[in-house]
Amino acid sequence: MRHRIPAAPRSVTTAVSDETPERGEIIKSSIITIVLAVIFLFLAIAFWAWSAPDITSPVKYLDSLNPYIPVVLEIMFMFGFFVFSTVTVVNVKLGLSQIRAGWTEIVIMLILEALLSFLMFGSGVGSASVVLCLAFVVYLYLLQD
């Protein structure tokens, strides 16, 4: 009776490969992330516009339920915008130049998100969304190792 020797297990952690995805996959992924980034930005702008003091809006209703709900939603909208816009930038650069995006593009997107958050919602929402975005940047860094 023959015994089979099991194959060597693959490494649990894998490094970023040098292979680039097919152009069709990059285009499909870019379209999806662009749409999602625009949706999150649109929701953030809607919340910003609805927070005017003289109009009746869903933000006023949410604020009457719990004053933290609109703030948390604003933070999540800006964080979602950052995540999907960053993924879009990385995909577009990879698709156009066959070179993976570097940290410069990610830092530029972080600065853009921070400016939008601070200008639209103030320092509280801006600071919290920047902290979440920095956590996502750390996650991206850890994916490389």
Domain that holds residue 70: 23-144
Q: In the chain, how many domains are there?
A: 1
CA distance 84 to 33: 5
pLDDT at residue number 14: 45
pLDDT digits (tens, 9 = 90+) for 88-128: 998 888 888 877 777 888 899 999 999 999 998 889 989 99
Q: Could you tell me if residue 9 is inside a domain?
A: no
Statement: residue 83 has pLDDT above 90? yes
- % of the chain at pLDDT higher than 90: 37
Q: Give Cβ neighbours of residue 88 (< 8 Å, ≥ 6 apart).
A: 30, 33, 34, 37
Compute the C-alpha angle 137/23/106, nearest 5°. Answer: 15
Q: Could you tell me if residue 32 is inside a domain?
A: yes
Q: Could you tell me if residue 16 is inside a domain?
A: no
pTM of the model: 0.78
CA distance 92 to 69: 34
